[in-house]
């Protein structure tokens, strides 16, 4: 989830997810070609 102004006017969007492993370290996963399903520019 992000704010409208962050993705406003963007044509290519990627998401980076940081998942904690069992040792407490974070694994970075990048997802390209993310599709925006809904926007609300008023919040």
Convert the pLDDT of each residue in 7-42 to its tens digit: 888 888 899 999 999 999 999 999 998 888 888 777
Query: In the chain, how many domains are there?
Result: 1
**What's residue 40's pLDDT?**
78
In a domain, 3, yes or no: yes
Instruction: Provide the pLDDT confidence category of residue 43 given band limits of 50, 70 and 90.
Output: low
**Does residue 2 register a pLDDT over 80?**
no
In a domain, 43, yes or no: no
Cα(40)–Cα(3) distance, rounded to whole angstroms? Answer: 9
What's this model's pTM, rounded to 2 decimal places?
A: 0.58
Domain span holding position 30: 1-36
Are 43 and 34 in contact by the 8 Å Cβ rule? The answer is no
**What's residue 37's pLDDT?**
85
């Amino acid at each position: 989830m992000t704010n409208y102004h962050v993705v406003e006017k963007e044509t290519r969007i990627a998401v980076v997810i940081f998942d904690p492993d069992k040792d407490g370290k974070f694994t970075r996963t990048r997802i390209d070609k993310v599709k925006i399903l809904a926007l609300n520019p008023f919040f």
